[in-house]
Amino acid sequence: MEGYHPSVDSAGGESGIPLHSPAMQPAHDDTALMLAYAGGEAVAFERLYALHKAGLYGFLHRQSPRTAWVDDVFQETWLAVVNARHDYRPTASFRTWLFGIARNKLIDRIRLKEPALLGDFLNEDDEDPLARVAADSRQEPASRLAGKQAGQALDTALRALPAVQREVFLLREQADMSLEDIAALTGVPMETAKSRLRYAVAKLKATLAGVS
């Protein structure tokens, strides 16, 4: 059992953790923290929670079809981490494991509460002619976009994305996961994950270009 790594503390306190904290907190540090928590060190869990709560909560906030479910799914995810601390094996990154739990909890909730929406979250058909057209079209650089109006348009366009495409985009942007990890988490081939991300990015860029 690995012990608690003092280097984790150098990443800063809870308030200083940026949105993309994984860049500053290597995956092996997450694994060490989780193993330390399984060994009985509660402070290790507090560090893990501080590192990933914003990314996980943001992912659930935008991926969940109902805002009222976010808190419940978020809490269930972390309690599942607590209950599974003795069974945790560092075969994958902690972040992938954590977001995988959250994704499964969300799908379970959808299956229980609104099964009609489940197809959108498990849809394997990614062919979307509109997205392809948007991807092929040359829009103005998104860097020109600024201001509150662009943010609202982006948020609306993000929610309008198909669930599987939005999921890949959020895992990429919110959790800074690699395509390989995203493919493993969602259970699809990497090419499929890559295609979904490409469609999502194309649609969002088209939306932002329209706003500008």
Partner 1 sequence: MKPDDDDKALSQAYAALEHPLPPPALDSAILAAARSAVQDGAKVIPFPARPRRNWGVPLGLAATVMLALGISLQLRDSEETRLDEPMLAAEMSAPVAAPAAPSADAAVSSKDEMKLESASTAAATPPQPEEPVTSSAPAARHRLAQPRQAAPAETRPAMEAGLMESAEQAAPAALAAPESAREAESPAGDAMSRQDKRSLPALAPAAPAPQAMPAPAPAAAKPAAGRSQEQTAPALRKMLESMPPPATKPDATPERWITSIRQLLEVGKEDEARRQARLLQQRWPDHPLPKELRYLLEDASQP
Q: Applying CB under 8 A, which residues contact partner 1?
A: 19-20, 37, 40-42, 45-46, 49, 53-54, 57-58, 61, 71-72, 74-76, 78-79, 82-83, 85-86, 139, 141-145, 150-151, 154-155, 158, 172-173, 178-179, 197, 201, 204-205, 208
Q: Nearer Cβ to partner 1, position 87 or 125? A: 87
Query: Based on CB atoms, which residue is closest to partner 1, 89 or 148?
Result: 148
Q: How many CB atoms lie within 10 A of CB 131?
A: 22
C-beta of 36: minimal distance to partner 1 in Å? 10
C-alpha neighbours within 13 Å on the C-beta side of residue 43: 7
Tell me 189's DSSP state.
-
Q: In angstroms, what is the minimal distance from the CB of 76 to partner 1?
A: 6
Instruction: Give CA–CA dist 212/206, Å, rounded.
Output: 10
| 125 vs 205 by CB, closer to partner 1 | 205
- For residues 83 and 79, give the distance between their C-alpha atoms in angstroms, rounded to a whole number: 6
Of 57 and 122, the one with the shorter C-beta distance to partner 1 is: 57
**Do 174 and 58 contact (CB within 8 A), yes or no?**
yes
User: Quick one: CA torsion of 11, 14, 17, 20, rounded to 10 degrees?
Assistant: 110
